[in-house]
Structure 1
Amino acid sequence: MTTTESPAGHGRVELAIGGMTCASCAARIERKLNKRDGVSATVNFATERATVTHRSDVTVDELVSIVEAAGYEATPPRSHDEPEDQPESAEDEHTTDLRLRFVIAAFLGAPVLAISMVPVLQFPVWQWVVLALSTTVVWVCGWPFHRAAAVNLRHGATTMDTLVSMGVTVAYLWSVYALVFGGAGVVGMRHEFSIAPSARAGADVYLEVAVGVTIFLLLGRWLEARSKRKAGAALRALLALGAKDVVVLRGDRELRIPVAELVVGDLFVVRPGEKIATDGAVEIGSSAIDRSMVTGESVPEEVGVGDGVLGGTVNVGGRLVVRATRVGTDTQLAQMAKLVEQAQTGKAEVQRLADRISAVFVPIVLALALITLAGWLVAGKPVEFAVTTAVAVLVIACPCALGLATPTALLVGTGRGAQLGILVKGPEVLESTRKIDTVVLDKTGTVTTGQMALVEVRPVAGVDRQDLLSFAGAVEQASEHPIARAITTGAQSELGSLPAVEDFRNTEGLGVVGVVDSTAVLVGRPRLLADWSIEIPAELAAVQREAEASGRTVVAVAWDGAAKGLIAVSDTVKQGSGEAIRLLRGLGLRPVLLTGDNSTVANAVAAEVGISPADVIAEVLPADKVAAVRKLQSEGHTVAMVGDGVNDAPALAAADLGLAMGTGTDVAIEAGDLTLVRGDLRATADAIRLSRRTLATIKGNLFWAFAYNVAGLPLAALGLLNPMLAGAAMAFSSVFVVTNSLRLRGFQSSTR
């Protein structure tokens, strides 16, 4: 069972619902649950889940009883970290059952359709053979429709199955009546098929209608079930990423245990080609990690001692020993699955509108069918024509496609997003993305890496660049300062090993001093050199002014009583940030840079990525970021905020749409509406494109679902549509909606 605690003494539970056949079933269960005081429920037909928020005095058993009293099944679903014991799920069994029923119905029903529609195939007693075949198709293969209708009738409810069962039953029973009492059973009777119901007087049989509708609806249900399973495949694939067992170190022994037995602090071994069992930090070894399954990044990441790794990713290099830092439901993979599932079980506003329509649609259609029957009888048409026309109204009106329009698109869209490292917290987020016109970007950690890096080395004339870098790096490697680490890392990357430093001293706020190869070396601010009576030559002073104007931090290097050069470090722009800005502009959005850094640094970064100076908001205190977002909103803008730090969380929550970088803090991720697992800013444009495309698919689905019913009902009521063709059209509408949603699986990231 999936349960969580909610504020104010409320709990939250997700129940797997069995026995639903259409959106009307979901609406009925939702109404029943919400009638209970202290309960707020949402039922999703596509995912077959009920998400229920309830007071502490309402038990899960009581919720299950409410669902069962409505005529359906309710069971707590399997939790994310619980192993899958059964090779074939109930969903697979349901799909298999539908396929078997369809195959039998098609095998027995094909002769019925052929003989009934092609007069040349009609032999003397063909109608009695057709009756025998039709009885099996209608009452054995089509039994799920009749059973569901009976259950709903027992509980005083009407659903799509009520319409189907009534239509098929009326067509079948009328045909039996015509064969036994109406003269249609005479030897040598001929029957011709027409697109519209027959208006001729006399006894006709409509067994082909009952059989055809059953076959087409079974086909539609089977394809629908298959498609729904495909639509949820991304979440199942996400849950399946985790390793099943792991090799842990127990003293000097290696022991293989189930992943579920891992605890925080355990050391475990990951060999080349194996999945990393859980989130952790590398203790021994270095390797390349393929993170594509979790983050969508196609390039493996190099990791070494102290680096963090994610459960579900693959070790493609050397042997690693990792210390577990998060296990079970606390891992990033489990949190991703939870976010995706929450998005798929929620409802967008457009879906709530469709649900309200579906709830009243069936009773209205039943009334319309009766009016159609009475109207044609009053008009003097034969009973056969009036009954067949009413059956066509019942069949064409089934609102199945309407119930599938939104949830199937959500299933596929959010699932595809998870594969690309884009997590949507809820379906209402999709509607927010359509409205935004301004994207506020936090600078540090979002547009830039958030880490200092070596960007420039400028020796004076006569000094070798490598010597300058070697001396500076050697002294700085004894310091823990971020600037020192940037210089050391850059020097090691370019030169390899560095010489040792002796007699190291740190002068707080100014720099460091040390002896390298018997030479005293100073690395720090120009003031440190001045304290040693060393002047900065004019050529270096000009370089320093230019670098600082670009927002870089400059340190001077001196030995032998003279300045030998300058080294500049800076928080570097992330790869792809410039392209991300172009992509955002291409979506009609205005990018704004928001930072607490000074204007010089902010404008330099903005210029590098292509943001206008007029769209730079600099020197903003963390507490004032919300005010900056509010100001843009007061000017009439609909604002999206992208950030990664704790100080970004209030602004993420205040924005109309919050996008949290998954490489940031848990607080920022919790405050965002969309989480970008990758640290790549281009994922922002991908998230907005995917959200907009998913919303467009939902609206397209709803249009076509409505269009089938709106166009088909008048044709059926006016006697222009044969019930069998009505059944085919209704089944096709459901398949069309699901197939249209599946096109979202082809969505591609702009980084590939």
Structure 2
Amino acid sequence: MSKTLSIGIGGMSCAGCASKLESALNAERGIQASVNFALSTAQINIADNATSNTVKSILDDKNYTYHSETLSLSVSGWSCANCVAKTVSKLLVNKDILTVDANFASEKITVTYFSGAILPADIINLIIRLGYKATVNRGSVVSQTESLLIREVEFKRKNKQQLLLVIISALLTLPLVAGMLTMFVSDINFIVPVWQQLVLATPIQFIIGRRYYLGAYNSLKNRAANMDVLVATGTSAAYFYSLYLFLSIGEKAQGALYFEASAVVITLISLGKYLEENAKQNTSSAIYELMMLRPEVANVKRGDEWLTLPIEDVVTGDEVRVLAGEKVPVDGVIIDGKSELDESMITGESLPVVKQPGQTLIGGSINGTGVLLLKVNAVGKDSSLNKIISLVETAQMGKAPFQQLVDKISNIFVPVVLAIATATFLIWYLGFDDFERGLISAVAVLVIACPCALGLATPAALVTGTGAAARQGILIKDIDTLQKAHKITDVMFDKTGTLTEGKPKVTAVHSFDCDEEVLICRAAAVQQFSEHPLAKSIINYAQDKQLKLLPASQVETIIGYGIKGDVEGEKILIGNRELMLAENVDTQPGESLLAESSEHTGSEMWVAIDGHLVGLLIIADTLRVESRAAIALLQQARINTTMLSGDNAMAVEKIAQALKIDHYYAQIKPENKSSYIQERQRLGKIVAMVGDGINDAPALAQADISIAMGAGSDVAMETANITLLRNDPRLVSAAMDISRITWRKIQQNLFWAFIFNLIGIPLAAAGYLSPELAGAAMAFSSIAVLSNSLLIKRWKPKFVRQ
């Protein structure tokens, strides 16, 4: 049955583009297309023998954009990496689905498809038919929060249920193990009758072990094999062989039964799965914590009334009131009020941040003691918090190169293990005439080889690592960035707004035959009518001195030179030296001062009253208090540091000397900064560029790793490889540090996952490993991998630890 889609197309520049695209689509078998340039739309009929991916490939090849939808699902019922791989492969069989990304550790799957190509319900049904459950991660903030809470309650319920089953299984297993152990003690002879062994083992096998039978059935039904197949096969072999002996020879079978082997294996594996689920829940806690930050309602002004509305009803431009102690519901700019805000869960900044009118608030932060009135500037998916959540989720859904190799291994792992177990049984039985030894060795092979640890090794570390980074205000965009970050050899910094505050401040005031307060009051009075950053720095300086701002009149801005106006009957002139000369003001006092002192670096603002020079203000961008430590941390790690700036040579040199930076370059245009990066890259260096993500776009694009400084609402968040949620350059070295630690944990996890199998399978096949020990080792391998990953949660940047 064919399907017709209407897809929005972007990037067509003329009717010829539409015609060529239409021809390319129609050239594919099973596709009929009509492309409308005016509407930027393609109507495509896809026959049964074609797929949406064919269309996607053509559009991608021709660099056109298209409208697609992404469905995020939480899946329960996966028992190992093979379950995930099979789910992905089965979904990709559907011709309407473009891409599928899944993560075993976080139990999430993301499906992308052309808008309208398939219903979410159809995707969910596909997953249900595979034997799993799926719930949609979307809807209103209220429903999402409720969904999270419901999921948390459901997890706790299942957790208690699983713990109860483990306890029951252990209590039933204990007599079987006790009987086996006392066989080697002469004074004690605790023998469990054969029929009692059967009574104790049966509920363990079919009630406690039911999940493994169901998992194996669903897996085999879908022509695959997973961990459950190994557990069900191995324990069933031991159980049914023992049952056969009991039914054949009754009590004479005492000492020859292996009920305790199947019981111990199921108990240990169930315990391992219980601990594993708890650990997996902890690895993805960062996303959960971020999602729970989202408020559900806001106090919004509509007309003359204040209404409590759901977040979904708040729109850009609304006025929102935030009371003391409340969460800030949305992103916005303060229009009235002053308060301290706790942004620690979003930016990683532990100390409260003072906010006042004109400053931006991030939704999800917690208000202190003041009442704030803000104007909304971002809601829904455009809000900072949702962007952060999306970035973290995207990073966690990615696959490292290691994981791609593991996925390939996992696809053939279980069949290979089944073959090894069969060969082990046949060699012992046919070669050495030892049926029992062959059976038990084969069971041990099946149990020790369960691939859980292998499937968890990479995603568990990635989820925990990116989550730990997010808690400290570091957003890592993807896995490639995480892989490269710890290999960086050079870091290049933009100066303004990165190593400096990016906010000009008055650093020196010199008055000539005039009281300093009078000088500042007159200058600030005129500058009230200017939006220039230098003007604002003078006004801020006057306010900090608690000086009264006088009224001004006849104010005129002289573009490129300065500003003039009348204050209390006096003619005030303020600007550069050229303005003074143009107005016939004698600049000799100021020039003499500058000639005698080389300390002043920055912009010069000359002030004249009634035609006479009365003062000179030096305005400069001040160094961030964290910048010296940031450079020192990188140099300790033997990383080459460089500062690139468009500022004058004297100002750049002064800052470079204060920072003790390795290299610095002044008076560079933004578009030319990339050439310095290319120069280092030609030497084989891996270069990171740190900037604001807008003015430094060419350099950020050229760098191997682009790092954006910002408060979470910058455009750079969407383009940079790494976004630092607070303006602290020390986080650059911290990002490299968490990358190094996460990558090391992945390698350690894979080592432990493989070593258990590489050593355990031969030992089990040779008869040196009992099923009981195999079950314990298998459970321990998963716990070891997850516990090792969870150690990353303790990570903090070096400057915090110091």
TM-score (norm 2): 0.85
Aligned to 1:571: 621
How many equivalent pairs are there? 730
* Corresponding residue to 1:553 among 603, 607, 610: 603
Q: Do the aligned partners of residues 617 and 124 (structure 1) sit closer, same or farther apart at CA in structure 2, a change above 3 Å counting?
A: closer
Q: Do the aligned partners of residues 155 and 570 (structure 1) sit closer, same or farther apart at CA in structure 2, a change above 3 Å counting?
A: same
Q: Do the aligned partners of residues 179 and 122 (structure 1) sit closer, same or farther apart at CA in structure 2, a change above 3 Å counting?
A: farther
- Greater relative CO, 1 or 2 (CA 8 Å, sep 6+): 1
Cα contact 1:648–1:668 (8 A) shared by 2: no
* Corresponding residue to 1:390 among 430, 442, 446: 442
Which SS does the other structure have where 1:324 is aligned?
strand
2:196 is equivalent to residue 129 of structure 1? yes
For structure 2, which runs of at least 5 residues remain unmatched after alignment? 1-7, 10-55, 57-64
Which SS does the other structure have where 1:322 is aligned?
strand
Query: How far off its partner does 1:514 sit?
Result: 4.2
2:757 is equivalent to residue 694 of structure 1? no
Aligned to 2:422: 370
Query: How far off its partner does 1:75 sit?
Result: 4.1
* Corresponding residue to 2:208 among 126, 130, 141: 141
Aligned to 1:601: 651
* Corresponding residue to 2:530 among 474, 479, 487: 479
Which SS does the other structure have where 2:695 is aligned?
helix
Aligned to 2:104: 45
CA distance in 1, matches of 2:362, 2:579: 43
Q: Do the aligned partners of residues 656 and 531 (structure 1) sit closer, same or farther apart at CA in structure 2, a change above 3 Å counting?
A: closer
Query: How far off its partner does 1:547 sit?
Result: 7.2
Aligned to 2:635: 585
Query: How far off its partner does 1:321 sit?
Result: 1.4
Query: How far off its partner does 1:222 sit?
Result: 0.7
* Corresponding residue to 1:76 among 124, 136, 144: 136
* Counterpart residue identity of residue 729, structure 2: L
* Corresponding residue to 1:179 among 214, 235, 246: 246
* Counterpart residue identity of residue 661, structure 1: M
CA distance in 2, matches of 1:652, 1:498: 42
Q: Do the aligned partners of residues 124 and 433 (structure 1) sit closer, same or farther apart at CA in structure 2, a change above 3 Å counting?
A: closer
Query: How far off its partner does 1:465 sit?
Result: 4.0
* Counterpart residue identity of residue 567, structure 1: L
Alignment of 1:458-497 (within 5 A): 458-460=510-512, 464-497=515-548
Aligned to 1:201: none
Q: Do the aligned partners of residues 534 and 128 (structure 1) sit closer, same or farther apart at CA in structure 2, a change above 3 Å counting?
A: same
CA distance in 1, matches of 2:556, 2:428: 103
Aligned to 2:70: 12
Q: Do the aligned partners of residues 645 and 453 (structure 1) sit closer, same or farther apart at CA in structure 2, a change above 3 Å counting?
A: farther
Query: How far off its partner does 1:132 sit?
Result: 0.7
Alignment of 1:431-446 (within 5 A): 431-446=483-498
* Counterpart residue identity of residue 795, structure 2: F
Aligned to 1:641: 689
Alignment of 1:419-438 (within 5 A): 419-438=471-490
CA distance in 2, matches of 1:57, 1:562: 73
Aligned to 1:102: 166
Aligned to 1:684: 732
CA distance in 1, matches of 2:67, 2:305: 47
Cα contact 2:712–2:725 (8 A) shared by 1: no
CA distance in 1, matches of 2:212, 2:713: 51
* Counterpart residue identity of residue 789, structure 2: S
* Corresponding residue to 1:337 among 389, 414, 428: 389
Per-residue Cα deviation, 1:303-322 (whole angstroms, up to 9, x for no partner): 22222211111111311111
* Counterpart residue identity of residue 596, structure 1: G
Query: How far off its partner does 1:178 sit?
Result: 2.7
Alignment of 1:260-271 (within 5 A): 260-271=312-323
* Counterpart residue identity of residue 84, structure 1: T
2:350 is equivalent to residue 318 of structure 1? no
Which SS does the other structure have where 1:354 is aligned?
helix
CA distance in 2, matches of 1:124, 1:280: 74
CA distance in 2, matches of 1:644, 1:534: 40
Cα contact 2:486–2:737 (8 A) shared by 1: no
2:560 is equivalent to residue 509 of structure 1? yes
For structure 1, which runs of at least 5 residues remain unmatched after alignment? 192-203
Which SS does the other structure have where 1:659 is aligned?
strand
2:692 is equivalent to residue 625 of structure 1? no
Cα contact 2:425–2:442 (8 A) shared by 1: yes
* Corresponding residue to 2:357 among 305, 309, 317: 305
Q: Do the aligned partners of residues 301 and 626 (structure 1) sit closer, same or farther apart at CA in structure 2, a change above 3 Å counting?
A: same
Query: How far off its partner does 1:475 sit?
Result: 3.5
Per-residue Cα deviation, 1:355-380 (whole angstroms, up to 9, x for no partner): 11111111111111111111122342
Which SS does the other structure have where 2:646 is aligned?
coil
Q: Do the aligned partners of residues 79 and 732 (structure 1) sit closer, same or farther apart at CA in structure 2, a change above 3 Å counting?
A: farther
Cα contact 1:643–1:668 (8 A) shared by 2: no
Cα contact 1:470–1:495 (8 A) shared by 2: no
Query: How far off its partner does 1:176 sit?
Result: 1.7
Query: How far off its partner does 1:697 sit?
Result: 1.1
Aligned to 1:226: 278
Query: How far off its partner does 1:107 sit?
Result: 2.2
Aligned to 2:789: 741
Per-residue Cα deviation, 1:111-149 (whole angstroms, up to 9, x for no partner): 222222223665565332222111111110111011111
Aligned to 2:52: none
Cα contact 1:544–1:554 (8 A) shared by 2: no
CA distance in 2, matches of 1:467, 1:666: 39
Which SS does the other structure have where 2:706 is aligned?
strand
Which SS does the other structure have where 1:679 is aligned?
coil
Per-residue Cα deviation, 1:265-287 (whole angstroms, up to 9, x for no partner): 22121111111110111222222
Cα contact 1:645–1:664 (8 A) shared by 2: no
Q: Do the aligned partners of residues 648 and 547 (structure 1) sit closer, same or farther apart at CA in structure 2, a change above 3 Å counting?
A: farther
* Counterpart residue identity of residue 634, structure 1: R
* Counterpart residue identity of residue 31, structure 1: S
* Counterpart residue identity of residue 528, structure 1: L
Per-residue Cα deviation, 1:715-738 (whole angstroms, up to 9, x for no partner): 111111111011001001101111
Aligned to 1:661: 709
Query: How far off its partner does 1:545 sit?
Result: 4.9
Which SS does the other structure have where 1:695 is aligned?
helix
Alignment of 1:411-422 (within 5 A): 411-422=463-474
CA distance in 2, matches of 1:251, 1:665: 28
Per-residue Cα deviation, 1:66-124 (whole angstroms, up to 9, x for no partner): 44454444443234734433543244444333222212212222222222222366556
Per-residue Cα deviation, 1:589-629 (whole angstroms, up to 9, x for no partner): 212222333433333332232223xx224333333334443
Cα contact 2:81–2:452 (8 A) shared by 1: yes
Cα contact 1:558–1:565 (8 A) shared by 2: yes
Q: Do the aligned partners of residues 111 and 545 (structure 1) sit closer, same or farther apart at CA in structure 2, a change above 3 Å counting?
A: farther
Aligned to 1:88: 150
Q: Do the aligned partners of residues 625 and 12 (structure 1) sit closer, same or farther apart at CA in structure 2, a change above 3 Å counting?
A: farther
Which SS does the other structure have where 2:485 is aligned?
helix
* Corresponding residue to 1:29 among 70, 87, 105: 87
* Counterpart residue identity of residue 224, structure 1: E
* Corresponding residue to 2:754 among 687, 700, 706: 706
Which SS does the other structure have where 1:230 is aligned?
helix
Cα contact 1:24–1:358 (8 A) shared by 2: yes
* Counterpart residue identity of residue 607, structure 2: V
CA distance in 2, matches of 1:217, 1:235: 28
Query: How far off its partner does 1:658 sit?
Result: 1.6
Query: How far off its partner does 1:420 sit?
Result: 1.5
CA distance in 2, matches of 1:73, 1:52: 15
Cα contact 2:291–2:389 (8 A) shared by 1: yes
Q: Do the aligned partners of residues 390 and 544 (structure 1) sit closer, same or farther apart at CA in structure 2, a change above 3 Å counting?
A: same
The RMSD of aligned alpha carbons is: 2.6
Q: Do the aligned partners of residues 259 and 751 (structure 1) sit closer, same or farther apart at CA in structure 2, a change above 3 Å counting?
A: farther
CA distance in 2, matches of 1:722, 1:125: 20
Per-residue Cα deviation, 1:377-420 (whole angstroms, up to 9, x for no partner): 23425211111111111111111101011111122111122222
Of 139-148 and 263-272, deviating more is 263-272
Aligned to 2:578: 527
Which SS does the other structure have where 1:451 is aligned?
strand
